[in-house]
Each structure stands twice: as C-alpha cells, then as structure tokens.
Amino acid sequence: MSVFQSDDPLLQVRNVTRYYGDRIGCSEVSFDLWPGEVLAIVGESGSGKTTLLNCLSTRLAPTAGAIEYRMRDGSMRNLYQLTEAERRLLMRTDWGFVHQNAAEGLRMTVSAGANVGERLMAIGDRHYGKIRSTADDWLGRVEIESDRIDDDPRSFSGGMRQRLQIARNLVTRPRLVFMDEPTGGLDVSVQARLLDLLRRLVADLGLSVVIVTHDLAVARLLSHRIMVMRHGNVIESGLTDQVLDDPREPYTQLLVSSILQV
C-alpha cells in the first residue's frame, strides 16, 4: 500500500454532529482524509457510524459542523453549500457509494453491462461500442464472465451482485468511495474474494475510501487508519494496526478481545 503523495487533504471534516430529534446520531466528529487513504469507521450497531457515513456522502444533512471536499480543480468546497446540480455531478462521477445490499446500488431490471454503462453515460459518453467495451473490461476486472454482460443482476449471486456494484461505482474513476459494510451478509469464502478484489482495486486506483464495518478483520485488511465509534462519539482513532494491537480505550479493548481466534 504505497500512498500519500499529496500534502493536501481530500476531505476535511469538522465537528460534524447529527441529532435525530433530541437523540444523538453522531457528535462532534472531525478528521482529515488524504488522497489514497483508506479510513475504517468501526463500532457496533447504533454507534453512529452509518449516520456519519451518510452525513459525509451528502445523503443526510448534519445538524452542525462542516465538511469540505477538494474538487478536481483543487478548490475546497463546503459540501452543503454546493448547488443540487453540482452535488449530483459529484455523486455520479467523482464519488462512489457501495451499499451493503447491492440491490440498493444497482438497477435490478437492466443488464449488468447497462448497470456499468449508465454511469459512463451520466458523464457524457455516448458511443455505444465504447461504453460496452469499457463495461466489459470492468466486468472482467471484478471477475464477472463476459457472457453475463446482458443478464440482469436478479440472476446473480450475492457475491456477484456486490462485485457488479463495485464495477458500477469505479467505472467513472472516482477519487472517493464510501462503503457501508460491503462484505456484510456474504459467505466467508465470498467475503475473502471480495476483500482481496477491493484491496487490489483500491491500491491500483489510489482511491480514498471511507468504509463502515463492524468487522475488525475487514478494517485490518483494507484500512490505513481507523476510528472507533460508540454512542455517536469517536472514542479512539489512529493507525489501524496500532489501535487493534494496542487499544487504549476500555470499549476498544472489549471490541478487540471479542474477536474469535481461528
């Protein structure tokens, strides 16, 4: 994992807070994300990690705080001050979002090739032959056979759907990808294949990733840095192997000691 050429952060998050009525979703979260860096957000259900991910990806407006993103032209922009058109363009081109449930990130009634090609058309590609060959290339990169290009994802297994969702997200060469439990609900062997694939793609493309997971093994394999959340607060953060091998907070020690050794 060779990364970190740039000295400018891609994403700057300051005091992001989200309330649901008077209940806290996440509270006062601040961090910087650099190009090529993979940040894992871990914690148990209800800890606020998905709320935070949704705030970061402009799917849920924070109650307070600021999130700034470095646009392709180098300028830093407050995500919640973008126009709707700018925000949509960002989500369609410069960002990806990989959902736990692939059906949420795919169009289930159109072909695999169209699922990948659609994002290309959104950025202005019009040449059918070119779109199809790029789609075919990406299906290959996520290990889906060429002869499945015209099948729709309803006929795909869970692991294949997840790989298709990844291809759909990466085809526009995004700089930042959000992932919400991308390996959740898959068989262990399918998980291992997906993790290996993600690890390679992230390294090859130099992607920045914010990944939410409750699986510390996934965090260890994929991420450079980790944030541990509990009750909406970030209670510990740092280098992934340092936090997992030398956890400081009582809750982190509990999480780490709860892993089953195989």
Partner 1 sequence: MAVRLYLNNVGKSFTMHLQGGAVIPVVEKVEFSVNAGECVVLGGPSGAGKSSILKMIYGNYRCDDGQILVTVDEEIVNVASAEPRDVLRLRDNTIGYVSQFLRTIPRVSAEDVVAEPLIAQGAGEEEGLETARSLLARLNVPERLWTLPPATFSGGEQQRVNIARGFIAHYPILLLDEPTASLDAANRAVVVRLVQEKKEQGVAMVGILHDQDVREEIADRIIDVTSFSADVAA
Q: Which is nearer to partner 1, 112 or 227 (CB)?
A: 227
Kindly state whether residue 158 participates in binding partner 1, applying the rule CB under 8 A. Answer: no
CB of 210 to partner 1, least distance (A): 15
Q: Which is nearer to partner 1, 4 or 20 (CB)?
A: 4
Q: Which is nearer to partner 1, 18 or 225 (CB)?
A: 225
Among 158, 184, 206, 238, binds partner 1 (CB under 8 A): 238
CB of 225 to partner 1, least distance (A): 5
Kindly state whether residue 224 participates in binding partner 1, applying the rule CB under 8 A. Answer: yes
Q: With CB under 8 A as the rule, give the number of residues binding partner 1.
A: 26
For every residue of the chain, which 3-state class applies, written as one string?
Answer: CCCCCCCCCCEEEEEEEEEECCEEEEEEEEEEECCCCEEEEECCCCCCHHHHHHHHCCCCCCCEEEEEEECCCCCEEEHHHCCHHHHHHHHHHHEEEECCCHHHHCCCCCCHHHHHHHHHHHCCCCCHHHHHHHHHHHHHHCCCCHHHCCCCHHHCCHHHHHHHHHHHHHCCCCCEEEEECCCCCCCHHHHHHHHHHHHHHHHHHCCEEEEECCCHHHHHHHCCEEEEEECCEEEEEEEHHHHHHCCCCHHHHHHHHCCCCC
Among 176, 195, 198, 202, binds partner 1 (CB under 8 A): 195
Site string for partner 1, 37-56 (x = CB under 8 A): x-------------------
Kindly state whether residue 187 participates in binding partner 1, applying the rule CB under 8 A. Answer: no
Q: Which is nearer to partner 1, 172 or 213 (CB)?
A: 213
Which residues form the interface with partner 1 (CB under 8 A)? Answer: 1-4, 34, 37, 192-193, 195-196, 199, 221, 224-225, 238-239, 241-242, 245-246, 248-250, 253-254, 257
